Structures are given as structure tokens and as C-alpha cells.
């Protein structure tokens, strides 16, 4: 397994996974929306898009 690399060293990044399969978050500047699903112990994220 490779070591994680910080993409934005000083950004406040957040992601919330809702119970209905929707995800919301921020990249430190933009609001993001998307989807997610879980199968067993694996989580799969859909495409995140910028929310206006």
C-alpha cells in the first residue's frame, strides 16, 4: 500500500456520507455533491460535482 499524499496542504477538506447514498462536502473553496455505495466492507464513491 502506498503512503497517502496531501493534495492541498492547508485546505479544510470534508466529506459527509448520507444514509440515502448521497454525499456532500467541500474542497476548502467549493461545495461538492455526489453519490456513494457500500458493499460488505468496501465503500465506492461516485463522481463528485461542484454544487452552485
Question: For each successive 10 residues of the chain (52 residues), what is the average pLDDT?
Answer: 66 88 90 95 92 83
Q: What pLDDT does 27 receive?
A: 83
Q: What is the pTM of this model?
A: 0.67
First to last CA, the chain: 36
Q: What pLDDT does 13 receive?
A: 82
For residues 10-31, one letter each, b for 16 or more C-beta atoms within 10 angstroms of the residue's C-beta and e for the rest, the string is eeeeeeebeeeeebebebeeee
Q: What pLDDT does 7 receive?
A: 64
Amino acid at each position: 500500500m502506498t503512503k497517502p499524499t496531501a493534495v492541498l496542504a492547508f485546505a479544510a477538506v470534508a466529506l459527509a456520507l448520507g444514509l440515502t447514498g448521497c454525499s456532500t462536502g467541500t474542497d476548502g473553496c467549493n461545495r461538492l455533491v455526489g453519490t456513494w455505495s457500500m458493499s460488505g466492507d468496501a465503500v465506492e464513491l461516485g463522481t463528485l460535482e461542484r454544487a452552485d
